[in-house]
Structure 1
């Protein structure tokens, strides 16, 4: 059964990594995976070519509708029977593809968007054959009293691909001191980056050997704002911005603790799972589904969002001798291995898709 993933993003993020990892798993299961990306995004095309068949269209203009007939034609020629939509921005495009091809439509809900009960959204919900929510929080947000039949709504937690972290596959290096913090996410305020910088500035006054490594992609304006902040606050000696890196193993080896105090609500937290698998303790906020991943004080640390003082206290706490870091690291690794591995995600997704098509037989 062939599947096409519709990816309209311009910058690589957690959702795009999800598609990459799932397509890799589908290959291993001898399932044909196609990925539809914008014709101008060469970076997305080159990355996805490693794990599937790349199709291109003009997705950035009118949300792809200028290309809908051409894409539908290619789907029929390739025998593609399942459309997987990864963004609400492209759900109407995907519904049009479904109507033109007769394919089943699966909507992966990567974001927290409260369910709506107006006629328009009830119509959209009726067109989708299966909703897959990446956390229980996403599922709960989606549910409304208007939904009577919940059978097509599923919770399938996201997960990491351990093969991306082969140097950590057998065991994780234990940490006993935290001196170098890390940030790995998009360069944006909503991820709590400037809360980190402000807290770190205070900590550095009494701990001159503390450091921060910042990794992530962003727009030119976002990156300029970050560099200007570092310059204005004279933080060059202990804050390093390395941009987006594909050497994610190297990043996790170079830091002692990951910081992700997201301000807005998180639908999941893939980078949190990555760090936990690689033996890096995590401090995150309780702004969303992070609490479904981390047990505060047991497998990581959760602080209040928008609370710089709470973040600073947590950072100073992990730097102290009061924390049993090996115990935190061991428990965090166990949590990911038991619940958040991509093999399980792919198995559950394939089962959902197969069940959709079994009703046609």
Structure 2
């Protein structure tokens, strides 16, 4: 295995989400491990230019479909001048450009798979599979969906990992009056089970439980209006708080008593799950994707086979009423993430490909 010289991520999007944060955290860790990180992004995206500039050297071109190929020789020259030996592509819209750069420079191309989608086997995608050096799948459920048997040696399971440096141990003022704080973090949407979670909190209040729900994350106007209407019609304003998007979620995870992530769609990974577990916060989540690869039910978290108001409420009550189990899950959850799902492990594995 030759020593890595420099990694170039190709990244552009209209919003900053999990995949964009993945590249940010990876770039920061590459620096810590002695590899020079570079990010290629669109010259008209100041948000990405500024944010990635905090952790990597940023190269800008016009990345739109009709323009990027005009810059191929410019980028190829930059690759040679900066001793870049690996290109990392995270979406299909940039893979042809990445492979053109490989043709011009001889660098490796790693194609990251962040979604649970079945592999395509038409002529075009078979050609892509022949040209790419390695495919990186962020969980086993992604690997199982994506792997092409004829090219199995090119597919690698490299678990996503959290940037533990973002989650130092800090003293956080705990809730008053014995209130049990249920947290939700991530994109707030209907398919993420947010209405069922609200229904569970309503059930618990009807049972006389002293519970609050604190939600943290981005939300569309349409979903927000549905949530607000539900909260208003069920008189829940005093015990449901929407905190909006928070860049620093360390204190949020350490303040809440448990995190509930009742997603109803297939999740490629579960970054917020790992973040909360690392912060010693028990997690309740569904079995709709890679969550089962992270959590063993009853040991380091709780899994829901079905997502309903009642199943969520019952799981929350279990944590509230069983302090010994709560403490066991809290401690084992931390050790599970600390041993397996860290950015250090992830980047070390990627460097070895």
TM-score above 0.5: yes
Paired residue secondary structure (1:45): helix
1:91 aligns with 2:95: yes
C-alpha distance in structure 2 between counterparts of 1:281 and 1:182, whole Å: 10
Specify the alignment match of 1:355 in structure 2.
none
8 Å Cα contact 1:139/1:155 also seen in 2: yes
Specify the alignment match of 2:245 in structure 1.
244
1:269 aligns with 2:270: yes
Structure 2 residues not aligned, in runs of 5+: none
Q: 1:163 aligns with which of 159, 162, 165?
A: 165
How many residues align? The count is 341
Structure 1 residues not aligned, in runs of 5+: 353-361
C-alpha distance in structure 2 between counterparts of 1:40 and 1:250, whole Å: 34
8 Å Cα contact 1:35/1:54 also seen in 2: yes
8 Å Cα contact 2:72/2:100 also seen in 1: no
C-alpha distance in structure 2 between counterparts of 1:225 and 1:88, whole Å: 33
8 Å Cα contact 2:261/2:284 also seen in 1: yes
1:9 aligns with 2:10: no
Q: Which moved more, 1:311-320 or 1:271-280?
A: 311-320
State the 1:100 CA deviation.
4.2
Once the two structures are superposed, residues 288-318 of structure 1 have per-residue CA deviations (whole angstroms, 9 ceiling, x without a partner) of 1111110001100000244333222212222
1:280 aligns with 2:284: no
Taking structure 1 as the reference length, the TM-score comes to 0.87
Specify the alignment match of 2:206 in structure 1.
205
C-alpha distance in structure 1 between counterparts of 2:95 and 2:179, whole Å: 44
Paired residue secondary structure (1:68): helix
Q: 1:202 to 1:104 in 2, by over 3 A?
A: same
8 Å Cα contact 2:270/2:290 also seen in 1: yes
8 Å Cα contact 1:287/1:305 also seen in 2: no
Paired residue secondary structure (1:195): helix
Q: 2:85 aligns with which of 69, 72, 81?
A: 81
Once superposed, what is the RMSD of the aligned Cα atoms?
A: 2.3
* 1:131-280 equivalences in 2 (<5 Å): 131-144=135-148, 147-167=149-169, 179-207=180-208, 209-280=210-281
Specify the alignment match of 2:121 in structure 1.
117
Once the two structures are superposed, residues 72-97 of structure 1 have per-residue CA deviations (whole angstroms, 9 ceiling, x without a partner) of 51342243332101123432333333
Specify the alignment match of 1:309 in structure 2.
310
8 Å Cα contact 2:163/2:343 also seen in 1: yes
Taking structure 2 as the reference length, the TM-score comes to 0.89
C-alpha distance in structure 2 between counterparts of 1:96 and 1:196, whole Å: 47
Q: 1:243 to 1:45 in 2, by over 3 A?
A: farther
Once the two structures are superposed, residues 88-135 of structure 1 have per-residue CA deviations (whole angstroms, 9 ceiling, x without a partner) of 343233333333443321011111111122222211211211001111
